[in-house]
Amino acid sequence: MRLAGTGNGPVDAFVNALRQALGLDVHVQHYHEHALGVGEDANAAAYVQLRIGTGLHAVYGVGLDPSIVTATLRAVVSAVNRGIADGKLALPAVRRVANA
């Protein structure tokens, strides 16, 4: 499945794509990032708190990558996966079509 979304940056576009394509009512509540080490080859760590819907439920995720943007997207995926595992989020059934 390919997702596409728009926003004021890559993280906003990704979260909007999750909402539109998968029906996941998640919103970035808090976000933090920092380098793991020194120099230009240091990995980045990103932490996100996603609010689910309008309620008080939240899920948290962490992502690591040399790119801070990719680390943040991984953190969002981590939080969504945690929400699914905890039963706070559910993915819609995805119909797979076989290529003939």
Distance CA 100, CA 86 (A): 37
Q: How many domains in the chain?
A: 1
* pTM, to two decimals: 0.86
User: How many helices, marked H, and strands, marked E, lie in the chain?
Assistant: 2, 3
Instruction: Please determine, for residue 93, whether its predicted confidence score (pLDDT) is greater than 70.
Output: no
- Report yes or no on 6 lying in a domain: no
Predicted confidence at residue 60, as pLDDT, reads 97
Q: Which domain CATH number covers 52?
A: 3.30.160.270
The whole-number average pLDDT for the span 69-85 is 95
pLDDT per position as a tens digit, 1-50: 788 899 999 999 999 999 998 889 999 999 999 999 988 889 999 999 99
| Among 4, 18, 9, 14, residue whose Cα is nearest residue 89 | 18
